[in-house]
Amino acid sequence: MNTDASPDRCINIFHCLMEMKDQSVYQHIQTYLKSENKTEKLSEIQCSALAYMLQMSEEVLDELDLSEYKTSLEGLRRLIPALRNCIKAKLVSCGLTERCCEDLASVLSSNSSSLTHLDLSWNDLQDAGIKRLCVGLMSTHCRLKELRLWQCGLAERCCEDLASVLSSNTSSLTHLDLEGNDLQDAGVKRLCVGLMSTHCRLKELRLRDNNLTKEFKKELSVLNSNTSCKIHT
């Protein structure tokens, strides 16, 4: 099979094989899923087939950790749609890019998505990636409650986008982890605009290691006592 085939073409090939009673790809993926140590590197075609199988499953997965799957970045992007059919998703240290954030936004905005917890820590998403991710977070279909963005190369600019999410009456976010970034005082001030919104549902905000000044931390402690959200600095 052509390793450069598009995801849709891969799925069509997978269907054709099944109709021809050739279950080799299906059986190979089933064996892979059952293995405890996933050391084999998956091809892009296998990733497309795997994502399709996971999405078609009637059983919603409790957790899907894509950091366990060895594949190329394109293979990882083909696996992302499968996150629609899980409750918790981990993509820690997966080398995600801005385009991956667009794929994730598509998952979050899907009316069939069951995703409520997403951990994207240790990926260099930067502000541009978060801007794309926030498109999905703003969707009326988004069910996400917990988002972890620890050590994601974030700065001041992304805080305005995140503030818009927090102040949206459609947002269901209750836990946001932004530790280990470079938001600084100016960025967190922007974030607080969303935090003070009457629509904000956030219960916990983690801001440790963001180059905040002692003076500003004192301001946040006052805010901490006046809101239902617990702020960790």
Whether residue 58 is contained in a domain is answered as no
- With bands split at pLDDT 50, 70 and 90, how would you rate the model's confidence at 74? very high
Q: For residues 197-223, give the mean pLDDT.
A: 94
| 35-49, 167-181, 204-218, range with the lowest pLDDT | 35-49
102 belongs to a structural domain: yes
How large is the average pLDDT for residues 115-140? 97
DSSP-derived secondary structure letter, 92: T
- CATH code (residue 119): 3.80.10.10
Enter the tokens of residue 146: 């917990």
Average pLDDT over residues 118-133: 98
Residue 175: inside a domain: yes
* For the chain, counts of helices (H) and of strands (E): 9, 7
CA dist 195 and 208 (Å) reads 17
Task: State the average pLDDT over residues 74-89.
Answer: 95
| Residue 217, number of CB atoms within 10 A of its CB | 15
Q: Tell me which residue range forms the domain holding 187.
A: 91-232
| Model confidence pLDDT, tens digit, residues 143-154 | 999 999 999 999
Residue 64 has pLDDT above 70, yes or no: yes
Tokens standing for residue 22:
């050739």
Residue 217 lies in a domain: yes
pLDDT at 132: 98
Q: Which residue has the higher pLDDT, 231 or 52?
A: 231
Q: What are the angstrom distances between the C-alpha of 77 and each of 7, 94, 167, 193, 226?
A: 10, 10, 30, 33, 42
Question: Average pLDDT of the chain?
Answer: 87
16 pLDDT band (50/70/90 cuts)?
Answer: low
| Mean local confidence (pLDDT), 130-159 | 97
Residue 34 clears pLDDT 70, i.e. is over it: no
In a domain, 71, yes or no: no
Spatial contact of 117 and 145, defined as CB atoms under 8 Å apart: yes
Domains contained in the chain, number: 1
Which pTM does this prediction carry? Answer: 0.87
Q: What confidence tier does 31 reach under pLDDT thresholds 50, 70, 90?
A: low
Please check whether residue 79 is in contact with residue 67, taking contact to mean a CB–CB distance below 8 angstroms.
no
pLDDT at residue 3, rounded to an integer:
46
Evaluate whether residue 1 is within a structural domain: no
Between CA 114 and CA 191 the distance in angstroms is 27
Least confident of 38-42, 73-77, 102-106: 38-42
Residue 1 has a pLDDT of 41
Residue 81 lies in a domain: no
**From the CB of residue 200, how many other CB atoms can be counted at a distance below 10 Å?**
23
Residue 36 has pLDDT above 80, yes or no: no
Q: Considering the domain boundaries, does residue 165 fall inside one? A: yes
Beta-carbon contacts of 129 under 8 Å, excluding residues fewer than 6 positions away, are 96, 97, 98, 100, 101, 152
